[in-house]
Structure 1
Amino acid sequence: MRTSARPKGTQMNSATARRPRWGRATRNLLRWIRNGMLGLLGLLSAATLAGRVQQARLQRAHPAPGGLVDVGGHELHVLQAGAGGPTVVFENGQGGMALDWHYVQPEIAAQSATLAYDRAGMGWSEPGPGPRDLPVLVDELRAVLHEAGAPTPYVLVGHSLGGPIVRAYAHTYPDEVAGLVLLDATHEDQFETFPAAFTAKADAMAEAMRRQRRVIAAVNASGIPALFASAYPDPVASKLPAEVADARRAVKFMDASTVVSAADEMIALRDSLDHLRRSRQSLGDIPVVVLPAGKALGAEAAVPEGLEGDVEAARQTMQEDLATVSTNARRVVADGSGHFIHVERPDLVTDAVRQVLEEAAADA
């Protein structure tokens, strides 16, 4: 029995009829993706515009409270108060700024010249050339002191990373230094002394910053983080008067330089500490006060669970060693204070500076 074949045209029409359904689905999907991307780009553009406006607003609301000095191609922000030598110089920890000495500087300025400043890229200072390692930081500190006309000799007060900076300065220019105060200062052997599981986190953070530096710069340059400046968790600002705290939070997000420069110092930290270790020498008998935090490191320092005791023992060992940098050094524990002693126990810092000033005057 003969069956009639389906006309070829009918088969082609059937196949053709199926294609539009897939074609419409694909086109709809692509249209949905395109519209989503356009919407996302629009949202990002709007956020960037709002961020740039907010950055400009913060810059107008919080002008630099001090002056600017040129240190060879870029200007650094300086706060000076008081008169007569020695000049007490306040050196910040990583990410710190001149405002952090709000409680201490006026007290000391009543009896001596003082100078606090923002390192390159921090606060109201312009970014400086890299790498941001210890020799560069010491050179810029000396340039600041000379350009600002700060009377010699200097009593150098260093918090955290500021500790290695002022010690390296004293090693390099011993005739200019009358004494030191070290506030919970970083030790050059911290990567070798702390438990490896603890230091590995710092290494991982530095490596992440190195790899993502351009991303960090781009995000902060967009201005978007400035929209959330007032909500930024800041352990120093939280202990300062409202007006000073607002300025400290604002200046971090006025442009990309503060976050990027802090990252650059973190990236160079191992090299900086290696440099200090190689150049370490006795400071003779100049007066030195070592003020370690009374509170142990905890969750805020990302101490791994179960290592609290080992980390604290290592910290104590290193702080005790700092009290051997001079034959006239002593260690005074800042009871009740965490890492930021100058805002948590400014009375202890003021007392320590005055003691060093008195001893320096007696030795003059």
Structure 2
Amino acid sequence: MVLLPGGGCVGLDLWPILDGVAQFATAVTYDRGGTGWSDRDVHLPRTLADATDELLELLRVADIAGPYIFVGHSLGAFYARHLAARRPETVAGLVLLEPAHEDLRAYMPKELTDSWDAFDPGAVSLEAPPQQVLDFYRGLFEQEMTAWPAEIREPLIANHVHPRWLQIGIREAANLPALNDEMRAAGPAPADIPTVVLTAMDVDPFKRAVSMGVSDELLQAEIDGKTRLYDDLAATFTHGENRRIEGVGHATLPMRRPDVVVQAVRDLLQP
């Protein structure tokens, strides 16, 4: 199993999943070039092809034989789906956690997409974020990672609230429209790839923090829209399923419910 973290995240953000799957299967994760603890000489943002070619080469060099179950969260699911479309022989199955999707906007109310369009990531300066903002985000991460081993938790949190990692997170996702086009151009993945989609059915504190001014009704409409999208995505696979996970949001699904991800991997490994 290969874990692919979301944008602004690193491999160790998925540590509970990695630890759980490692009890019964080979499990690996990594930081994409230019992110986390990987080589920072990589220019961001990147194409899907660049990132997935890099991943397959790393797996080859590490002598980890495929095909693989790719577990992708958010932006990481784009890379998993791109591999399934472009290199299906490398893919034994997909577990897609709150996956980024090229058709997401079509499932959303116009009021919500208008608010997204009003946001200009280029206008965001993270050179010196206010200390109260950093302290707030530190508290969110500490709450979610409180039971994690200190040697993993402490450097993760320290880096997540460092301006360098915050800037990297914004740069990595800065070409999202181009990634949408690249995913469409890749075409659909083969329908016979076993696939489980996991949909978070709640709004977590991370989502609340970036949704100030957005009504509860609109946030619920976003959940309803993505659920329909993920149902449709799962239906493109012969053995596809969208599992609704209550009590978690987009960011906290892999941290609070690693058990449902581990179970999805276990299910795909069963003959």
Please indicate, yes or no, whether the TM-score normalized by the shorter chain is above 0.5: yes
Question: Counterpart of 2:65 in 1: which secondary structure?
Answer: coil
Structure possessing the higher radius of gyration over alpha carbons: 1
Find the aligned partners of 2:65 and 2:268 in 1 and give their Cα distance.
Answer: 16
Find the aligned partners of 1:167 and 1:118 in 2 and give their Cα distance.
Answer: 18
Instruction: State which of 291, 295, 299 in structure 1 corresponds to 2:208.
Output: 299
Question: Counterpart of 2:244 in 1: which secondary structure?
Answer: coil
The question of whether the paired residues in 2 share the 8 Å contact of 1:338 and 1:344 is answered with no
Identity %: 29
Find the aligned partners of 1:107 and 1:195 in 2 and give their Cα distance.
Answer: 37
| Mapped pair 1:163 → 2:71 | no
| Mapped pair 1:137 → 2:63 | no
Question: Shift in Å at residue 142 of structure 1?
Answer: 1.9
Find the aligned partners of 1:253 and 1:308 in 2 and give their Cα distance.
Answer: 26
Structure-1 residue corresponding to 2:264 = 352
| Mapped pair 1:330 → 2:241 | yes
The question of whether the paired residues in 1 share the 8 Å contact of 2:203 and 2:248 is answered with no
Question: Shift in Å at residue 333 of structure 1?
Answer: 1.1
Find the aligned partners of 2:260 and 2:243 in 1 and give their Cα distance.
Answer: 9
Matches within 5 A, 1:189-338: 189-205=103-119, 207=120, 209-210=121-122, 216=126, 219=127, 232-233=137-138, 235-240=140-145, 241=147, 243=150, 244-252=152-160, 256=164, 258-296=165-203, 299-302=208-211, 304-305=214-215, 306-338=217-249
Gaps of 5+ in 2: none
Find the aligned partners of 1:173 and 1:274 in 2 and give their Cα distance.
Answer: 18
Question: Counterpart of 2:60 in 1: which secondary structure?
Answer: helix
**Compared CA separation, residues 277 and 328, structure 1 to 2 (3 A):** same
**Compared CA separation, residues 301 and 293, structure 1 to 2 (3 A):** farther
Find the aligned partners of 2:266 and 2:16 in 1 and give their Cα distance.
Answer: 14
| Mapped pair 1:95 → 2:8 | yes
Q: Which moved more, 1:154-163 or 1:305-314?
A: 305-314
Matches within 5 A, 1:178-189: 178-189=92-103
Question: Counterpart of 1:267 in 2: which secondary structure?
Answer: coil
Query: Which whole-Å deviations, capped at 9, do the CAs of 1:202-238 have from their partners, x for residues lacking one?
Result: 3443x3x3356xx54xx26xxx889996663464553
Q: Aligned letter for 1:147?
A: V
**Compared CA separation, residues 348 and 175, structure 1 to 2 (3 A):** same
Question: Counterpart of 1:110 in 2: which secondary structure?
Answer: coil
Find the aligned partners of 1:268 and 1:93 in 2 and give their Cα distance.
Answer: 14
Query: Which whole-Å deviations, capped at 9, do the CAs of 1:267-301 have from their partners, x for residues lacking one?
Result: 11111122212323142212111111122576345
Question: Shift in Å at residue 147 of structure 1?
Answer: 2.5
The question of whether the paired residues in 1 share the 8 Å contact of 2:190 and 2:237 is answered with yes
Find the aligned partners of 2:166 and 2:10 in 1 and give their Cα distance.
Answer: 12
The question of whether the paired residues in 2 share the 8 Å contact of 1:230 and 1:246 is answered with no
Query: Which whole-Å deviations, capped at 9, do the CAs of 1:128-169 have from their partners, x for residues lacking one?
Result: 124323222222222322222222111000111111110001
**Compared CA separation, residues 226 and 126, structure 1 to 2 (3 A):** farther
The question of whether the paired residues in 2 share the 8 Å contact of 1:184 and 1:291 is answered with yes
Q: Aligned letter for 2:208?
A: A
Q: Aligned letter for 2:261?
A: V
Question: Shift in Å at residue 266 of structure 1?
Answer: 2.3
RMSD: 2.7
Question: Counterpart of 2:237 in 1: which secondary structure?
Answer: coil
Question: Shift in Å at residue 186 of structure 1?
Answer: 1.7
User: How many pairs were matched up?
Assistant: 262
